[in-house]
Structure 1
Amino acid sequence: MLSAGREIFAQEGYQAASMEAISRAARVTRGAFYHHFDDKKALFDAVVVAMQVEAAATIQERARAQRKIRDRLTIGIDAYLDVCLEPAYGRIVIQEAPAVLGNQRYREIEEAHPMALLGATLNALKRDGEIAFDDMGLLTRLLDAMICKVAIMLPDADDARKLRKDAHKLFESLLTGLSQKEG
């Protein structure tokens, strides 16, 4: 049912997606659907969680190949931006999930998956003395917000490659400014 829900939500959007269409695509009866999910919103929540788990796995897989933590951060950001450019992810997770699930639930899901990786990487940089900032939760949330804003801007950018490059320069400048090391 998750894959059917994902497909229908991506094509039609949450509001237009009908339980009948989702049940038909999943090849289950409406009764079987309601056996697994309380309602359409519960299915949508499960789809968002699954997509965030997949996003985190993609980020982790691409970033772990890097030896340096700073390189893992850069590759991880690029991997996340690539995920955000996928039409289903863009529509379901970025555009609709905050409104459908509410900001609190959306934040819980985000913080448990992609943002958790970002926070772990930033904490590793702090442990290695590359960041001198006390409130790592604040830093993680602010950097995440910046990355998400870039993700929203990318599809409409005149030069997406330049936007990414400029964003990485900004992220790097921010982290360099928080560094204990001189230079």
Structure 2
Amino acid sequence: MAGKRRAEMMEETRAKLIQAARKAFATKGYSGSSMDDLTAEAGLTRGALYHNFGDKKGLLQAVIDQMDAEILVRMRAAHAAAATPWEGFVAEAIAYIEMSLEPEIQRIMLLDGPAVLGDPSQWENQNACLRTTAQTIQALIDDGTVKPVNAEAAARLVNGAALNAALWIAAADDPETVLANVVDAFRQLTGGLLKTA
């Protein structure tokens, strides 16, 4: 029983730190957020931060992991709302691109994340996304919707296009205009995979 309570307390501590960091990173940015302010906001010590995440960079990774899980849920909802598997595949990717307009996602995942954690295409969550995209493309090939093509190569190109589009939108002076252009071009690009009668 004591072990279970300890595990619950540790999870509660982690959740408080992630919540405080997410709020700070979204409003002040990664570099503008001090560890002392983060821990004070959570009502915890720096030791708790070090114990649970190693350092501020580890805390940023935890925040990004949490946000990524939320993004995935929203992408799956876009897929599920579509009329066909192909439309769901495209809707899922466009939903991801559209989320790059959201200030929290822009600041944390698309601007500070790459600056601190490096190339987002190498992040673990991107590799999981890549596998899922390749499986989806293979299923679309198997059902005759998509031309015979190497599913991994197509997945890397589609995911790379969506990621780079999101990074471009996040850094743009006029993100709304860039988004409109991106969505049109993305539909044209992915449409090239469709098998013609």
Question: What TM-score bracket applies, with the shorter chain setting the length?
Answer: 0.7 to 0.9
**Cα separation, 2, equivalents of 1:35 and 1:104:** 25
Superposed, 1:147-162 pairs within 5 Å as 147-154=162-169, 156-157=174-175, 159-160=177-178, 162=180
Superposed, 1:15-34 pairs within 5 Å as 15-34=31-50
Question: AA paired with 1:65?
Answer: A
Identity, % of aligned positions: 29
Task: Name stretches of at least 5 consecutive residues in structure 1 with no aligned partner.
Answer: none
Distance 1:19-1:120 versus aligned 2 partners, 3 A rule: same
TM-score by length of 1: 0.83
Question: After the TM superposition, which of the residue ranges 139-148 and 96-105 deviates more from structure 2?
Answer: 96-105
Query: How much has 1:129 moved relative to structure 2?
Result: 1.8
Size of the alignment, in residue pairs? 178
RMSD across aligned positions (CA): 2.4
Superposed, 1:1-183 pairs within 5 Å as 1-103=17-119, 106-113=122-129, 115-154=130-169, 156-157=174-175, 159-160=177-178, 162-176=180-194, 179=195, 181-182=196-197
Higher relative contact order (CA 8 A, sep 6+): 1
Query: How much has 1:116 moved relative to structure 2?
Result: 4.4
Question: AA paired with 2:142?
Answer: R
3-state SS of 2:193 partner: helix
**Cα separation, 2, equivalents of 1:174 and 1:163:** 17
Query: How much has 1:105 moved relative to structure 2?
Result: 8.0
Question: AA paired with 2:72?
Answer: A
Instruction: Check conservation: 2:147, 2:193, Cα contact below 8 A.
Output: no
Question: After the TM superposition, which of the residue ranges 6-15 and 117-126 deviates more from structure 2?
Answer: 117-126
Question: AA paired with 2:79?
Answer: A
Distance 1:55-1:158 versus aligned 2 partners, 3 A rule: closer
Query: How much has 1:54 moved relative to structure 2?
Result: 0.9
TM-score by length of 2: 0.78
Distance 1:172-1:104 versus aligned 2 partners, 3 A rule: closer
Task: Name stretches of at least 5 consecutive residues in structure 2 with no aligned partner.
Answer: 1-16
Query: How much has 1:147 moved relative to structure 2?
Result: 1.6
Question: AA paired with 1:17?
Answer: S
